[in-house]
Amino acid sequence: AQSVTQLDSQVPVFEEAPVELRCNYSSSVSVYLFWYVQYPNQGLQLLLKYLSGSTLVESINGFEAEFNKSQTSFHLRKPSVHISDTAEYFCALNKLVFGAGTILRVKS
Amino acid sequence: DAEITQSPRHKITETGRQVTLACHQTWNHNNMFWYRQDLGHGLRLIHYSYGVQDTNKGEVSDGYSVSRSNTEDLPLTLESAASSQTSVYFCASSEAGGTQFFGPGTRLTVL
């Protein structure tokens, strides 16, 4: 069985502060991990993905995530957030299993 | 430009009625997926297809069916709509191992 757990339902943070959104997974098969972002009333957009190779993956807008096999984690980080990063973020495993989502609220 | 579309964007129906939600993609992707999104549950997989004539059940497939007669379309049918099926439905497509692209969603209300 496969599962994804996002440990925080909401994360409030001030603008320009660092943030980490946590994701843990469970799988008995090979893992491909994804982070998606959803802005209000829109569909999901891919933020970054880990398929193989380097365990640290980056997105074009400053987010990064590190695949940690021993801790079965794929946490999403950004060193300095902007108001425009306010959205809901989903961690996904093998395109078939999604976490419950984490709402990131960036405050000025 | 290639895209993935869903119709209708909003639908209100009554319990017991059959409802079909359309999903159409012009990426020529083999893989297509249907999810429902509910508060506190994230996205849950309903059905998916890896090619024409191929369909597979997901985590929450009861009460839903799909058919794949061509590459571009994967319609989702609710055989007899129930209030528990009130949700936002997302369709997605991808190539094997490739990026998954999501449609804009259909908001379905079952009264």
Residue A101 has pLDDT above 80, yes or no: yes
Q: Which residue of B has its CA nearest to A100?
A: B42
> Average pLDDT over chain B, rounded to whole?
94
Mutation target for A interface from B25, B37, B39, B50: give the one with most A CBs within 10 A.
Answer: B37
Residues of A in contact with B48 (CB under 8 A): 96
Dump pLDDT digits (tens) for A4-19. Answer: 999 999 999 999 999 9
Q: What's the pLDDT score for residue A2?
A: 87
| Facing residue for B103 by CB, picked from A43, A51, A100 | A43
Residue A106 has pLDDT above 90, yes or no: yes
Dump pLDDT digits (tens) for B76-111. Answer: 999 999 999 999 999 999 988 778 899 999 999 999
Instruction: Please report which confidence band the pLDDT of residue A1 belongs to, taking 50, 70 and 90 as the band edges.
Output: confident
Q: What's the pLDDT score for residue A40?
A: 85
Mutation target for A interface from B43, B48, B60, B93: give the one with most A CBs within 10 A.
Answer: B43
**Backbone phi and psi for residue A54, each to the nearest 5 degrees, phi listed first:** -55, 135
Four-CA torsion B105, B73, B34, A94, nearest 10 degrees: -120
Residue A84 has pLDDT above 90, yes or no: yes
**Mean pLDDT over residues B45-64, rounded?**
96
Instruction: Please report which confidence band the pLDDT of residue B55 belongs to, taking 50, 70 and 90 as the band edges.
Output: very high
Alpha-carbon gap, residue A104 to A77, rounded angstroms: 12
B102 and A43 in contact by Cβ < 8 A? yes
| Surface-to-core class of residue B3, CB atoms within 10 Å of its CB (0-12 exposed, 13-18 middle, 19+ buried) | exposed
Instruction: Please report which confidence band the pLDDT of residue A91 belongs to, taking 50, 70 and 90 as the band edges.
Output: very high
Alpha-carbon gap, residue A104 to B83, rounded angstroms: 30
Q: What's the pLDDT score for residue A37?
A: 95
Across A5-9, A32-36, A41-45, least confident range: A41-45
Residue B10 has pLDDT above 80, yes or no: yes
Residues of B in contact with A34 (CB under 8 A): 100
